[in-house]
Structure 1
Amino acid sequence: MNIPAHAPLHLLHTAAVGTLATHARQPEGFPYPSMLPFAPDARHRPTILVSRLAEHTHNLHADPRAGFLVVDAPDGDVLSGQRVTLLGTFEPIDSTAAIVQRYLRYHPDAERYLVLGDFTFWTMKLERLRYIGGFGAMGWLSGAELDALPPLGLDEENALIEEFNHAYGGAGAFRLLGVDRYGADLMLAGARKRLAFDDARLNPETLHMALEVCIQRARQIS
């Protein structure tokens, strides 16, 4: 089926919450769905912050295979909205300064959970995904097909975030959350927005230029 270029990737940067489906331990084998906030990592994969006491965390320790559903239906019409179902395995990752910093940019309220010492980060390793974006725009992709390009370097992303937040911070409650080769995530006037570039940006100069244009346009519209 015809899938718009990079539509699943942009969707994973648009939504703030997803539905995690793990394998229940009791009753054994049943799907166990739960809703969780998530942040996309540099490869656009969902990163979640979960309590060690949560049922879904126990389920992942027993069987890391899981599904993760992300939906964008701002008008409430789910069947006409975009959605992507990810299949793969979740793996625990160390709470490095970079991981914490990135997650808190997307979910600053999560800092209160981190101080408890009971929460850990997990990232999904994608096997396959199915995207539905409307009539005739649906199909399966392998995990590798989500993005074949090398991710933006941590230092390069942080430099762009610092530069643009310094330039526009405070103007219309602007806050840049993340940058990648296909677009940028930001908070503007209290609303989360995904700014998609017209094409992938492979070098710093074109990336900076595309980011500047998108931000200026978003501020004019808001």
Structure 2
Amino acid sequence: MSNSDDENKDQKSVIRPTDDKARLLAKGLIRTARFGALAALEAGSGHPLASRVSLATDLDGTPVLLASTLSGHTAAIRENPDCSLLVGEPGKGDPLAHPRASLFCSARPILRESEEHDRLRRRYLSRHPKAELYVDFGDFAFFRLELTRASLNGGFGKAFELERQDLLTLVEDLPAWSSLEASAVAHMNEDHKDAIKLYAQVLLRAEDANWRLACLDPEGLDLAAGDRVERLWFSERLAGPEDLRPTLVALALQARNT
């Protein structure tokens, strides 16, 4: 056996079998990421270029970024859409001990006059409300970073290779979910702040803060308070939009009885 064969065998041996816990961790890192490190090839030179970008997600969990068309990384992904995105914030102590995921993506620009643009604009502003100052400027554009696979590092000795289907949420009726999300988020934030607070502080054991519902999808809720984002997963993926209301009611009852 050659040295290269030995090296390949050693590399594969450190990769753990993908399980539901790994999938949930990777999805959570993507869903709660407020920013990430985008790696692309610089337009013209082809030299590696890394930039910090603000992030949100589409309903299915695909990362979304809003970028100035004048920036170097926008020119890079327009010339070569293949890129990578690193998500996962370090905490106290050794930054390498904290989970992170390298996402392999293809950047797709979003047409401004489209329902897709309206949906991504709404979801992005729910995560980054101050971006409303410039989101509609002509030199800004949204990109969906279409996922192909991911390398997940859950901490020392916890390496996984995940495929596209491991990272995304199945959304069978996208228009219905998009319409429901817009109305449900507004309704919850206006009329049920007490329930949102229970979700955050009881079910997620988050600190006391002015929590609001930022986004929702068939697998869970994204709660935000300032710079903090928490993910509340449903016990199982909802089959359809009609299942949302009873699920939210059940979660509030669960929190009150905890």
Secondary structure (helix, strand or coil) at the match of 2:88 reads strand
Shift of 1:159: 2.9
Shift of 1:204: 4.2
Correspondence 1:203-222 to 2 at 5 A: 203-204=240-241, 206-212=243-249, 214=251
**How far apart, CA to CA, are the structure 2 residues paired with 1:220 and 1:56?**
49
Question: Residue deviations 1:166-218, cap 9 Å, x none?
Answer: 22348752321101122211124763222122332324465434444556778
Which residue number corresponds to residue 160 of structure 2? 139
Q: Contact 1:51 / 1:57 at 8 angstroms: preserved in 2?
A: yes
Structure 2 letter corresponding to 1:66? C
Flag the structure with larger Rg: 2
Which residue number corresponds to residue 157 of structure 1? 181
Which residue number corresponds to residue 13 of structure 1? 31
**How far apart, CA to CA, are the structure 1 residues paired with 2:82 and 2:257?**
44
Which residue number corresponds to residue 24 of structure 1? 42
Secondary structure (helix, strand or coil) at the match of 1:160 reads helix
Which residue number corresponds to residue 120 of structure 1? 141
Name the structure with the higher helix share.
Answer: 2
Structure 1 residue corresponding to 2:239, chosen from 197, 202, 206: 202
Which residue number corresponds to residue 176 of structure 1? 213
Q: How many residues align?
A: 220
Which residue number corresponds to residue 12 of structure 2? none
Question: Residue deviations 1:145-172, cap 9 Å, x none?
Answer: 3236225610122232122112234875
- Residues 188 and 148 (structure 1), Cα distance of their counterparts in 2 relative to 1, 3 Å cut: closer
The TM-score, its normalising length taken from structure 2, stands at 0.74
**How far apart, CA to CA, are the structure 2 residues paired with 1:189 and 1:125?**
27
The TM-score, its normalising length taken from structure 1, stands at 0.85
Deviates more, 1:199-208 or 1:126-135: 199-208
- Residues 97 and 77 (structure 1), Cα distance of their counterparts in 2 relative to 1, 3 Å cut: same
Q: Contact 2:222 / 2:232 at 8 angstroms: preserved in 1?
A: yes
Secondary structure (helix, strand or coil) at the match of 1:74 reads coil
CA-based RMSD of the aligned residues comes to 2.8
**How far apart, CA to CA, are the structure 1 residues paired with 2:92 and 2:192?**
30
Shift of 1:74: 3.0
Shift of 1:102: 1.5
Secondary structure (helix, strand or coil) at the match of 1:33 reads strand
- Residues 137 and 126 (structure 1), Cα distance of their counterparts in 2 relative to 1, 3 Å cut: same
**How far apart, CA to CA, are the structure 2 residues paired with 1:138 and 1:66?**
21
Unaligned runs of 5+ in 2: 1-15, 198-208
Shift of 1:98: 2.3
